[in-house]
A and B are shown apart, each in its own frame.
Chain A
Amino acid sequence: MTRYIRHAACFCALLLMALLVNATRVQVFQARSHDENPANRRENIARYGQQRGDILVGGRPVTGSRDTGEQLRYERTYANGPLYAPVTGFASQEYGTTFLEHAEDGLLSGADPLLTPFPLWNDFTRSRNPGGNVVTTLNRAAQKAAYDGLGGRKGAVAAVEPATGRILALVSSPSYDPAVLSGNDPGVGRSWARLNDDVDRPMLNRAVRQTYPPGSTFKVVTAAAALDAGVIKDVDEPTDSPAPYTLPGTRTSLTNESEGCADLSLREAFRWSCNTVFAKLGVEVGVGDMTATAHAFGFNDRSLRIPFSVSPSTFDPTVDKAQLALSSIGQYNTRATPLQMAMVAAAVANGGQIRTPYLVERTTTDDGDTVTTAGSRPVRQAMQPSTAVRLKELMTQVVTEGTGTNAAIAGATVGGKTGTAQHGVGNSGTPYAWFVSWAQGERDIEPRVAVAVVVEDASANRGEITGGGVAAPIARAVMQKVLNSRK
């Protein structure tokens, strides 16, 4: 009997071994895959178990956290949700994160390993770092001026500092309050459905995720290409261009809004925004050089992150001459985000150089120690410095004695370009009013701000709509606020 008892004991030992091996299998080898299973709520419980870090504008947080006492404990709050929604995005327990909340999620939620004092420290202690803070480049006053200027009309404003690429304002209208999406109660689902079904698409970030035909504002790029390519040697020399202009290879004739564009010099044509002159110039420059210049300004760039992605602005490189003529005046397949057009103005203001735009000045731990800084951004030469000087002069004239007088600021040098883009079948859509500009204060050694404004539903009377009437005042208010603020 003793022998059989020993056999039975061996059997029990086998059972014990099986349990130990199984426990090791589940707790060690499968642990990672179980931990990462989306149905496992532990990661979310840990994530929302502490306050989320804040996003700061002008030294003050525009976000916060609210203790709900639920299983997912902290919910996101926003100090002025609609104003900063295109920058912050939302941080929802139900629908994930967008924009800065998404791009900086690791830091804000405390998961970023850079927040750890020592490598692998958290793996050892099973703790989670407090969420870090994100300091933005935004200018509070400029952001507010842009938002108030749009006044709920569909449109967007983007403002950058030409010398650095810091984004000073990023506004999209109409906007929404991201706080309504923060929690996980049934109301959040209803808000989500309502925002998605809204015909005005309030969650669309028109400043970086919507491209518009840039219309006449694109003439800045065409003029730069013509000057760089040597098609224009002297801005005051007549351009030998007919008005109306028959598009090459077609019988379509292109006309102007204003009279007397025939044979105007580049300076006058720029001031009065003559379509015929710039269409012809584009054709003379040729598709290769036009595309190269547009690319240098940032068109067709799919890789721009500020740190969230920006929809690529487009300039079609596969066009015939008639299409090139239209592309050169910002029609046909030419499309740009407001941020892209602000970069165009910034390139002119900054001696032809484009600094990659960015929104995050630096990130810190919750007690203020710097984690990362923006540092110096890559620079790209969009045009020759001499071309930039001449374009600066042309843009200044638009504001002093052309279509953009609404943007003038007393005691400051302002350069701008208006635009009215038509779209839709047979131009039936509401035109887009554009204004791009830059401004330099009396005591500044270089331009402080470059702005692009687009307003979609400008006015009922299409004939009256020009960027100068609707968009320029908004740009002026934004530039004024930036010039007034301390450097």
Chain B
Amino acid sequence: MTKAGTTVAPADAPAPAVRLPRRRGIELALIVLAVLLCVYGYCAVGLAKNGTVPPGAAGYGAGLGVLALVAHGAVRLRAPCADPLLLPIGVLLNGLGLVLIYRLDLETPGDRAAPAQLVWSTVGVALFIAVVLALRDHRVLQRYAYVCVAAALVLLVLPILFPAVNGARIWIRIAGFSIQPGEFAKVLLAVFFAAYLAANRNALAFAGRRFWGLQLPTGRVLGPLLAIWLISVGVLVLERDLGTSLLFFGLFVVLLYVATGLTGWIALGLLLAAVGAFAVGWLEPHVHSRVEDWLHPFASIEAGQGPNQLAQSLFAFAAGGILGSGLGLGHSVLIGFAAKSDFILATAGEELGLAGLSAIFLLYGLLVERGYRAGLALRDPFGRLLAIGLASIVALQVFVIAGGVGGLIPLTGMAMPFLAQGGSSVVTNWAIVALLIRVSDSARGQYDGEETP
């Protein structure tokens, strides 16, 4: 790294000596496979529920296929060296999510969510295409770091002005649409963190006193860390959204560690997080009840009130067993409220079994791994941190919600990336994939056969 700051990093290195295969054909083949898998799932649901192939199967397949192919065209045009796995994984997860939501719609005839989700997916793919076409170089984003953080804070604060929905103030309702601004804020914050840390990482790493063997940061750079911590706690307390605050803080700590390599900071961060989580878990009744449910998922059954959502979710996973009941043949609708959003993974677990659930986890794992790979291959610190940040958002989010519905950690309301019902989430995830495509294109395009420093 030759230069640090919020300005654009120096111009490209000399032309690559070794040209990597572009692998766009592989991407196309995988997209076709992903679309076929989703159409197969769609047909399986119809066959299981009604004994016939659903009438919209061809339209659904064509719609998803066209979206995916247009996105593929955009990648071919403007990011020819991009990682060939990212787009197919996005298409497969999004398509699978649509199948699961369509399947749950059949149980709740009065409340259809799949058409809206398809519209949002289209918007998401449109955003993906726009980002891939318009953003020629990810380093441009570095210029807008403080714009991003300002926008993110506005988006986070906005829902406080709106009434709480189901105990959490994370939605705003405009003209019949509910939007979760916190979802968009994630990407903006990742851009800001990456830019801020890329500029200040040397100052953060080497300044300050040593105390008990730990390299403590100076007050000037400690400020932002405390500010982020306060924002996280603020989000938690004001919006009662444990998941989002956990995600922000986790993202910051990961990026801080990657940027500076200082374990002392990590320890301090974890300590602060633990104190915050513990205090809020005891003091805030909404969060406290979640912790109680996690510790005793069957307490409501013993109290004679019937199983709560978490218990129903565990029942659904258990009913799936190893091979699953088959699409359309489970009873995860017993979960009731939020079965299509936060608890969608329970449907996947019941109907696709441990086998299908593991496959979904591995797909997410692969997505994250491709992000990290791009981060490793890149040269500029901003690009690296951005790739790591975006991939870590996916990883942390999947862990928080999948761990929550599976009884591994306290349940926090959060959308499973791509799978869950929720427009803001789908659009945001397509933006993440678009940015990963962009950085991976840079990473592979600039490769010159030498090891990165």
Contact = CB atoms under 8 A, between A and B. Distances in A.
Overall SS of chain B's interface: helix
Contact of B406 (A26, A33, A45): A26
A246 to B, nearest CB: 62
Interface residues of B, number: 55
Given A16-B361, A19-B361, A37-B301, A8 B254 contact: yes
A35 B331 contact: no
Nearest to A11: B254
A305 interface: no
B240 to A, nearest CB: 24
A30 interface: yes
Nearest to B334: A41
Contact of A19 (B322, B381, B388, B403): B403
A27 B318 contact: yes
Contact of A23 (B326, B357, B453): B357
A126 interface: yes
B331 A22 contact: no
Interface in A37-93: 37, 39-42, 45
A34 B334 contact: no
Interface residues of A, number: 36
B317 A23 contact: yes
Interface in A16-32: 16, 18-20, 22-24, 26-28, 30-32
A86 B433 CA distance: 68
Given A1-B261, A12-B368, A30 B318 contact: yes
Nearest to A3: B261
Contact of B315 (A4, A7, A13, A40): A40
A9 interface: yes
B399 interface: yes
A28 B322 contact: yes
Contact of A39 (B307, B322, B391): B307
Contact of B398 (A8, A19, A27, A39): A19
B199 to A, nearest CB: 14
A30 B349 CA distance: 14
A37 B334 CA distance: 14
A5 B258 contact: yes
Contact of B259 (A1, A26, A35, A42): A1
Interface in B368-399: 368-369, 372, 375-376, 381, 384, 388, 391-392, 395-396, 398-399
A389 to B, nearest CB: 63
A4 B376 contact: no
B148 to A, nearest CB: 22
Given A1-B381, A23-B358, A40-B315, A8 B406 contact: no
B322 to A, nearest CB: 6
Nearest to B313: A26
A19 B409 CA distance: 10
A2 interface: yes
B353 interface: yes
B349 A18 contact: no
Contacts of B403: 18-19, 22
B354 A28 contact: yes
Contact of B358 (A18, A20, A126): A20
Given A4-B261, A8-B258, A42 B399 contact: no
Nearest to A30: B318
A35 B395 contact: no
Contacts of A20: 358, 361
Contacts of B398: 15, 19
Interface string A119-134: 0000000100000000
A3 to B, nearest CB: 7
Nearest to B354: A27
Contacts of B120: none
A31 B260 CA distance: 44
Interface string B390-422: 011001101100110011100000000000000
Contact of A4 (B258, B317, B334, B407): B258
B90 to A, nearest CB: 18
Interface string A345-361: 00000000000000000
Contact of A1 (B318, B362, B384): B384
B144 interface: no
B392 A12 contact: yes
A24 B354 contact: yes
B341 interface: no
B132 to A, nearest CB: 24
Contacts of B325: 126
A9 B372 contact: yes
A445 B315 CA distance: 62
B298 interface: yes
B452 interface: yes
B397 to A, nearest CB: 11
A93 to B, nearest CB: 16
Contacts of B181: none
Contacts of A27: 317-318, 320-322, 349, 353-354, 357
A34 B311 CA distance: 9
Nearest to B107: A71
A2 B403 CA distance: 29
B61 interface: no
B319 interface: yes
B301 A18 contact: no
A204 B334 CA distance: 37
Interface string A374-395: 0000000000000000000000
Given A15-B399, A16-B365, A20-B361, A26 B372 contact: no
A5 to B, nearest CB: 6
A19 B402 contact: yes
B314 A26 contact: yes
Contacts of B406: 19, 22-23, 26
Closest 6 CB pairs of A and B: A34-B318, A31-B318, A22-B408, A27-B354, A15-B399, A39-B301
Given A5-B372, A23-B349, 15 more contacts: A4-B260, A5-B376, A8-B254, A8-B388, A12-B368, A19-B361, A19-B402, A22-B408, A23-B406, A27-B317, A27-B354, A27-B357, A37-B311, A42-B334, A126-B326
12 contacts: A4-B257, A6-B376, A12-B368, A12-B369, A19-B403, A20-B361, A23-B358, A27-B354, A34-B315, A34-B318, A39-B311, A40-B319
Interface of A: 1-9, 11-13, 15-16, 18-20, 22-24, 26-28, 30-35, 37, 39-42, 45, 126
